[in-house]
Amino acid sequence: MNRRLTLLTTVLCLALAVAVPFNAATASDDVSGQNIYMHGSPEGAAPCAACHGLQARGRPGMEAPALAGRPVALLEERLTFFASGKGNAIMRIIAGKLTARERSAVARYVSGLPAAE
Partner 1 sequence: MALAAPLVACDQAPPWHDIDVSGTSPSLSFTLRRAPDGKLVTQADMRGKIVMLYFGYTFCPDVCPLTLQNVNQALTRLGPAASEIRFLFVTVDPNRDSLNVLGQYMSLFGPNFVGLRGTPDQLARLAQRYRVAYSVTPPGNGHGYEVIHSAVIYVFDQSGAAKLLVPSMASQTPDIDGLAEDLQRLTRSHPTWLGKLEALV
CB nearer partner 1, residue 3 or residue 61: 61
Q: Residue by residue, what is the 3-state secondary structure of 41-106?
A: CCCCCCCCHHHHCCCCCCCCCCCCCCCCCCCHHHHHHHHHHHHCCCCCHHHHHHHHCCCHHHHHHH
CB nearer partner 1, residue 43 or residue 77: 43
Contacting range for partner 1; rule: CB under 8 A; set: 15-23, 69-77, 78-86, 89-97: 89-97
Site for partner 1 in 51-80 (CB under 8 A): 51, 54, 59, 61-64
What is the nearest approach in angstroms of partner 1 to the Cβ of residue 50?
Answer: 4
